[in-house]
Structure 1
Amino acid sequence: MAPVLTITLNPTIDIASEADLVRPTHKVRTSDERYDPGGGGINVARVVTELGGEAEALFLAGGATGALLDDLLEKARIPRRSFPIAEPTRISFTVHERKTGLEYRFVAAGPMVGPEELEPCLAFLREADNPWVVASGSLPRGAPPDILARMAETAVARGARFVLDSSGDGLAVTLRRARVFLVKPSRGELEHFVGGQLDERGIREAAVALVRSGAAELVAVTLGAEGVLLASAGGVVRMPALHVPVHSAVGAGDSFLGAMIFALAQGWTPEEALRLGVAAGAAAVLTPGTALCGREEVMRLYAETGQGERIA
């Protein structure tokens, strides 16, 4: 089977470090720095590969930081397709404060990307034969609001299963215009999509409505420490989170999605893929900084997950 193709239009170099105390004005001395290739789709590719699958990362990159991103992916042994842009790839920072255990995350908006810089990505998708295409992460500044919808239509037209994990226009325009196999909004992203706050019942009804409208076959709503909800034509499954010591929340959602895609691509049922996703999300919070889940920890936690509660 051809590898899972992941799309990251606004990738980042993730730098994680520690400091005794974060204070304004004063120099904050950091230690234990680590550099990781980041952005939703790139993280999904890293997780699929870590779990034993095959993935190929498609991303935009520019400037010296774009070259560094490519080097980090080379070291991670991730097959990739890089498309050049004029402005430099962004850098994001995470600082763990040792005295309080708090985590500070500084996420750059990223480069301005013109529509013409996105056309090569669409051209590549028209010729690609990957059966699974995952678009994950935010839209870069300047990107047309319908770019992910166009990518979904392109992938679906040639028979691929398209997976969406985005926010704002990237989520809303795609769901209203295209048809995707799986969408993974967080609770906040789903509330923004529907235009109001949602309780447990409202979340369930909104997810089911997306399935019934044909916008998505599967809707996985991540609820943080409250677990996850999966809606499909067969009903709704609710699965609690695994409670583990939290070292960092960075990458938990990407680990969840990467594990689900790995499992679905292997032919697992959606419910079993959901279990693996929950295990991967829990494994990710056990790791420091921008590190993602590790296979051994994922499989250990997978054995501890239940079957979930079918509630509709």
Structure 2
Amino acid sequence: MKKNDHKILTLTVSPAIDKSTKFSGLVAEQKIRCEAPHFDAGGGGINVSKAIARLGGNSLAIFTVGGASGELLQELVKKEKIAYEVIKTESWTRENFIAVDTLTNAQYRFGMPGPAITTKEAQEILKAIEEAKPEFLVASGSLSPGLGDDFYERVAAVSRKTGSKLIIDTSGAPLEKAIDEGVFLLKPNVGELAKLVKAESLEINEVDDAARQIISKGKCEVVVVSLGPQGAVLVTKDICEHIPAPPVQKKSTVGAGDSMVGGMVWALSEGKDLSEMLRWGVACGSAATMNEGTQLFRKEDALKLIKWLNTYGEKYQIHPL
């Protein structure tokens, strides 16, 4: 499949190798015996591509790689059977560490800083996006040092030029600057949404008005606000819909947000409407919490949860808006 044959392109400028393990008892200054580690290709966009692949969809993942850890990252992505293109960097790809204490079931997550990206490498990333011309462009995750807070704004400018629908999942100044350029879909949580509208905090019944403030200024077309265990809210200029999260036994929240984005963009690429998109997002995000470590979700779990939402979701729907 050619590079520009992909409907969906995911961008990860600060990917990582996620190393996860288990141990029994955390005692300071003593050697902690861990189980054999499990390695996963990590980073927002890569996780979104993995989620799309689990649903039977295709995407092109563009991400940076550097050093021996970058070579391992490529091998891990290959195993997922995801089409990809890499931007080589002088700095090594970072590694993250996730450990679960089996005595308490407490999870410890150690995130390392992303590698520095040079001006030349940044230009290569933007060029790769422009050449691909996807229908949907997903920019997800934190920014590496050297890119500046305006990098996603530059990505938004490229997406506007190519006619791609930009779906962005980040936070802070990079998110604020990106929406100044204009995006198709935002996926903030309530706290992130509050910051975007310069509010100290938001109650659930204030979410729709806050989202419409952004939409009315022409900053984006769709806002999906993640409510965690309460599900998510979809807001456009004409629609406001709340979908509850299905009742599941939570084991880990790692990758739930990326799974949600993956489910949504896959649904859009399949021609599903916004309401169906939201249900698929909530189903995949909830399914991800049913697994330990960094495993995202299993397709069979997502299918069970989408069936539950389609059958019982309306009955259990909360109407705070």
Aligned to 2:201: 197
Aligned match of 1:217:
221
TM-score, normalised by the number of residues in structure 1:
0.95
Q: Any residues of structure 2 matched to 1:73-84 within 5 Å, and which? A: 73-84=77-88
Aligned position for 1:116: 120
**For the structure 1 residues 311 and 159, does the alpha-carbon distance in structure 2 shift closer, same or farther, using more than 3 Å as the test?**
farther
Which residue in the other structure is 1:268 paired with? Answer: 272
Q: How far, CA to CA, are the matches of 1:141 and 1:24 in structure 2?
A: 32
CA contact (8 A) 2:70 2:92 kept: yes
Tell me, what secondary structure is at the counterpart of 1:31? coil
Residue identity in the other structure for 1:193: L
1:71 shift after superposition: 0.9
Q: State whether residues 287 and 293 of structure 1, in contact with CA within 8 Å, keep that contact through their aligned partners in structure 2.
A: yes
Shift of residue 31, structure 1, vs aligned partner? 1.0
SS in 1 for 2:221: strand
Distance 1:211 1:271 in 2: 18
Alignment of 1:177-256 (within 5 A): 178-195=181-198, 196-256=200-260
1:201 Cα deviation after fit: 2.7
Deviation at 1:3, TM superposition (A): 3.5
Distance across 1 between alignment mates of 2:192 and 2:118:
25
3-state DSSP of counterpart to 2:251: coil
- 1:259 to 2:249 alignment: no
Report how far residue 157 of structure 1 moved. Answer: 1.7
SS of residue matched to 1:208: helix
Tell me if structure 2 keeps the 8 A contact 1:183–1:216: yes
Report what 1:18 is aligned to: 22
8 Å contact 1:41–1:137 — kept in the other structure?
yes
One-letter amino acid of the counterpart of residue 227, structure 1 = G
Distance 1:87 1:202 in 2: 43
Instruction: Extract unaligned runs of 5+ from structure 1.
Output: none
**Secondary structure in structure 2 of the residue aligned to 1:42:** helix
Structure-1 separation of matches of 2:110 and 2:228: 20
Distance 1:184 1:224 in 2: 12
Secondary structure at 1:303's aligned position in 2?
helix
For structure 1, which segment, 301-310 or 235-244, has the greater mean C-alpha deviation from structure 2 after superposition?
Answer: 301-310
Query: Which has the higher mean CA deviation after the structures are superposed, 300-309 or 75-84?
Result: 300-309
* Equivalent pair of 1:236/1:310 in contact (CA under 8 Å): no
Counterpart-to-counterpart distance in 2, 1:187 and 1:281: 16
AA aligned to 1:188 is G
Q: Which of 74, 88, 95 is 2:92 aligned to?
A: 88
SS in 2 for 1:83: strand
**Alpha-carbon distance in structure 1 between the residues aligned to 2:21 and 2:246:** 26
> Which among 9, 15, 35 is matched to residue 5 of structure 1?
9
Q: Distance in 2 between matches of 1:31 and 1:231?
A: 44
C-alpha contact (below 8 Å) 1:48/1:259 kept by paired residues? yes
Change (3 A) 1:290 1:28: same
Q: Is the 2:167–2:185 Cα contact (8 Å) retained in structure 1?
A: yes
1:294-305 aligned within 5 A = 294-305=298-309
**Structure 1 counterpart SS, 2:91:** coil
Do the aligned residues in 1 keep the contact of 2:204 with 2:320 (CA within 8 Å)?
Answer: no
Partners of 2:290 and 2:36 in 1: how far apart?
17
In structure 2, how many angstroms separate the alpha carbons of the residues matched to 1:249 and 1:32?
A: 21
The alignment partner of 1:296 has SS state of helix
Could you report, residue by residue, the CA deviation over 1:109-166 in whole angstroms, capped at 9, with x for unpaired residues? 1212222211011112222131111000001112121111111121122211111001
5+ long unaligned stretches in structure 2: none
For 1:251, the aligned partner's letter is G
Q: Secondary structure at the match of 2:123?
A: helix
- Cα deviation for residue 236 of structure 1 reads 1.1
For structure 1, which segment, 160-169 or 192-201, has the greater mean C-alpha deviation from structure 2 after superposition? 192-201
Number of residue pairs matched by the alignment: 311
Structure 1 SS opposite 2:308 = coil
The offset of 1:26, in angstroms, is: 1.4
Give 2:131's aligned amino acid: E
SS in 1 for 2:87: strand
The aligned counterpart of 1:46 is 50
Contact 1:179 1:214 in 2 (8 A): yes
Q: Match for 2:102: what amino acid? A: R
